[in-house]
Amino acid sequence: MKKVLKNIIVMGLITVVVLSMPTTAMGDTPSSWAVSQVQTAVDLNLVPKNFHSNYTKATTRGEFCALAVKVYEEVKGEITNYGSITFKDTKDINVEKAASIGVVSGTGNDMFAPNDALTREQAAVMLDRLAQVVGKPLPNQNPIFADNTSISSWALDSVGKVQRAGIMSGTGNNQFSPKAPYTREQSIITIKRAYDVLTGAVSPNPVILNSAVSISQSLKKGMTDTEFNQAYTVAYSIASKYANLERKDQIEGVFADLADMRHSLGWEYSMEAKHYSDVYGFFVLSRTSCAGDVRAAALCLELLGIPWEHVNENQYSHQWVRAELNGTYVVIDVNAPYVGYELVPYKHPLIG
């Protein structure tokens, strides 16, 4: 197996959306794994115009207020009664609107720190509060991340809620990374997920369609039961977000989430280290090969009840997932990253 096509643009199952993305400068588009989801959020009018650039830049606290207010006003209508809560360091209308409805509070001494980078745990709290003020509170759950002890006490409940609702997931290696910054493209995708939950498009208490499935031995190979169960928990949290969607949306959602994880910083590509080719390596150790990528995607698809095939399994060549969709087949390649219709049976559209 070889690591190939690392910088190929992610292709949607119907069209290549990167060409239509809003942009203010040549090449100023989202990361390949984020293109489709960001475009969907733009089409839904959830992304303020000043967010149509610098997608990999860290989101500020003030900027995330603009996203939260956009969702609130799309769902509940314009916020007109604001200004009773103000801050010494900003006159941003969206900060004042978010404060007036209870989505945010200050940092003390009538300050808000609007230009500070938003942390992941701060985003979780804002999203939890947004759901409450919209009138769609998220169901309770204790977070199930390996770094739970690093999550601030004031954010712990909110992190569990957004995890259960499928609005936020981890950063790899079963970590939440609560103090890490949140990029613009991550914020846009998250706010789109929140919008789906708040409008009823996705259940905040998802049910896996195929939860009683007997997982194939191919997906369990090389792991202890404890290791597999740890990986299963992460795969479950991903698949559950898409349980009530059409199969095309399920495939695209799983692919985008796994590609996001797979191509984040700190990942190890290996064909020798332990667990390089199984789901424990992918979901828990942030270690993988194309075979590990395949099995990670396959586990999520299997949870969703989507038939899949492991192309070139156990061969010294590139491997990918083949899944049925509307009478034809789709290539799902988290390693590339690439997702698109199969043009010739069992042939990868990009590498043959």
Quick one: pLDDT band at residue 10, thresholds 50, 70, 90? very low
**Predicted pLDDT at 215:** 61
Q: Is the pLDDT of residue 341 over 80?
A: yes
Q: Is the pLDDT of residue 12 over 60?
A: no
Q: Say which residues have a Cβ less than 8 Å from residue 153's Cβ, sequence separation at least 6.
A: none
Average pLDDT over residues 29-48: 88
CA 204, 40, 27, 334 dihedral sign is: positive
Mean per-residue pLDDT over the chain, rounded: 85
Q: How far is CA 305 from CA 175, 213, 246, 292, 323, in A?
A: 27, 8, 12, 20, 11
> pLDDT exceeding 90 applies to what percent of the chain?
57
Query: In terms of pLDDT, which residue wins out, 350 or 77?
Result: 77
Q: What is the pLDDT of residues 183-217, one digit of tens each?
A: 999 999 999 999 999 998 877 765 444 444 456 66
Q: Max alpha carbon distance in the chain (Å)? A: 65
Q: How far is CA 71 from CA 194, 203, 274, 284, 309, in A?
A: 8, 17, 44, 33, 39
Sorted by where each starts, the structural domains of the chain and their CATH numbers stand as 28-198 (no CATH), 217-341 (3.10.620.30)
Query: In terms of pLDDT, which residue wins out, 204 or 118?
Result: 118
**Predicted pLDDT at 233:** 83
Reading the block at residue 67, the tokens are 């996203």
Query: In terms of pLDDT, which residue wins out, 23 or 109?
Result: 109
Q: What is the pLDDT of residues 260-284, one digit of tens each?
A: 889 887 889 999 999 999 999 999 9
Cβ–Cβ < 8 Å for 263, 33: yes
Q: Is the pLDDT of residue 105 over 50?
A: yes
Average pLDDT over residues 72-101: 95
Q: Where are the beta strands (DSSP E) in 148-264?
A: none
Q: Is the pLDDT of residue 298 over 60?
A: yes
Cβ–Cβ < 8 Å for 71, 195: yes
For residue 248, the Cα-to-chain-centroid distance in whole angstroms is: 16
Query: In terms of pLDDT, which residue wins out, 222 or 4?
Result: 222
Q: Is the pLDDT of residue 104 over 90?
A: yes
Kindly write down the DSSP assignment for every residue of 29-53, as one continuous string: ---GGGHHHHHHHHHTT-S-GGGSS
Distance CA 197, CA 151 (A): 24
**Predicted pLDDT at 350:** 87
Q: State pTM to two decimals.
A: 0.62
Is the previous residue joined to 22 through a cis bond, with omega within 30 degrees of 0? no
**Predicted pLDDT at 205:** 63
**Predicted pLDDT at 352:** 67
Where does residue 35 rank: exposed (0-12), middle (13-18), buried (19+ CB within 10 A)? buried
Quick one: pLDDT band at residue 9, thresholds 50, 70, 90? very low
Q: Is the pLDDT of residue 2 over 50?
A: no
Distance CA 273, CA 205 (A): 37
Exposed e or buried b per residue across 320-344, where buried means at least 16 C-beta atoms within 10 angstroms of its C-beta: bbbbebeeebbbbbbbbbbbbebee
**Predicted pLDDT at 303:** 87
**How many Cβ atoms are within 10 Å of 352's Cβ, its own excluded?**
7
Element (H, E) at 5: none
Least confident piece of the model among 30-39, 67-76, 144-153: 30-39
Average pLDDT over residues 96-110: 94
Backbone angles phi, psi at 285, to 5 degrees: -95, -10
SS (H, E, C) 137-174: CCCCCCCCCCCHHHCCCCCHHHHHHHHHCCCCCCCCCC
Least confident piece of the model among 20-29, 73-82, 164-173, 340-349: 20-29
Q: Say which residues have a Cβ less than 8 Å from residue 110's Cβ, sequence separation at least 6.
A: 86, 87, 88
Distance CA 8, CA 94 (A): 37
- Cα end-to-end distance, the chain, whole Å: 14
Query: In terms of pLDDT, which residue wins out, 182 or 143?
Result: 182
**Predicted pLDDT at 214:** 53
Reading the block at residue 2, the tokens are 């070889």
3-state helix, strand, coil in the chain (%, to 5): 40, 10, 50
Q: What is the pLDDT of residues 206-262, one digit of tens each?
A: 544 444 445 666 788 888 888 888 888 888 888 888 877 888 989 999 999 999 889
Average pLDDT over residues 57-74: 96
